[in-house]
């Protein structure tokens, strides 16, 4: 569990994808890898999600694939069976979280309040999703809510883009950021994978500019 979450922290970004057609999986996977970001969260917001996870897991093992917008035990079971290596939930569903913890499946549940953070800590989770980041108050709220929790890292998601990514990454409590601007549904559906690759490269450059090697 720790190894996968550590890897996400090293990358600094999790591309959050809603994919409409299985035919677009190959182009998407290649664009992410060529852009230097071997990670993707496929959200359960489209009927194609499960098939996309399975294809990426089978054909692109070098791409760390996870399942996002996981809302139920059925979904988490299907996602992990299909090959998802980590799970992301928009909120804190105790049944989903406990299922993952019991099976050592990496999960980052969504939290907004100190009470939800406490619930996660009770289960041994220290890397949590902060969602929807910008709508809740962005960097300023994340600073405030994270202040009492020195051992907790956050993956803010929602409203993050190339213009504010660095602001989040500069926070010592931010593990990585989730974002869809470089892999948005319109670009994928139009097959504009070269554009996606360029946007991914730009995002990776932002991460490197903030988190310069020692």
Residues involved in catalysis: 41, 129
CA angle 213, 138, 100 (to 5 degrees): 75
CA angle 2, 46, 160 (to 5 degrees): 55
Tell me the two tokens of residue 112: 């907004």
Q: Identify the DSSP state of 91.
A: S
- Which residues lie across from 74 on neighbouring strands? none
Tell me how far apart the alpha carbons of residues 172 and 154 are, in angstroms, rounded to a whole number.
9
Q: What share of the chain is helix, strand, coil (3-state, %, to 5)?
A: 50, 15, 35
Q: Which residue is listed with tokens 């869809």?
A: 180
Cβ neighbours, 10 Å, residue 35: 22
């Amino acid at each position: 569990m720790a190894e996968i979450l550590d890897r996400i922290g090293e990358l600094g970004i999790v591309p959050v994808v809603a994919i409409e057609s299985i035919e677009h999986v190959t182009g998407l996977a290649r664009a992410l890898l060529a852009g230097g970001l071997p990670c993707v969260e496929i959200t359960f917001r489209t009927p194609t999600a499960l098939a996309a996870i399975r294809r990426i897991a089978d054909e692109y093992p070098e791409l760390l694939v996870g399942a996002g917008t996981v809302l139920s035990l059925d979904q988490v079971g299907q996602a992990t069976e299909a090959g998802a290596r980590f799970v992301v939930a928009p909120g804190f569903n105790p049944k989903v979280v406990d299922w993952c913890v019991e099976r050592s499946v990496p999960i980052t549940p969504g939290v907004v309040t100190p009470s939800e953070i406490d619930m996660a800590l009770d289960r041994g989770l220290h890397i949590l999703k902060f969602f929807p980041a910008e709508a809740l108050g962005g960097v300023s709220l994340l600073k405030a809510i994270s202040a009492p929790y020195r051992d907790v890292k956050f993956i803010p998601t929602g409203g993050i883009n190339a213009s504010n990514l660095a602001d989040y990454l500069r926070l010592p409590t931010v593990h990585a950021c989730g974002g869809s601007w470089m892999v948005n549904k319109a670009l994928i559906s139009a097959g504009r994978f070269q554009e996606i690759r360029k946007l991914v490269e730009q995002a990776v450059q932002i991460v490197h500019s903030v988190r310069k090697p020692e």
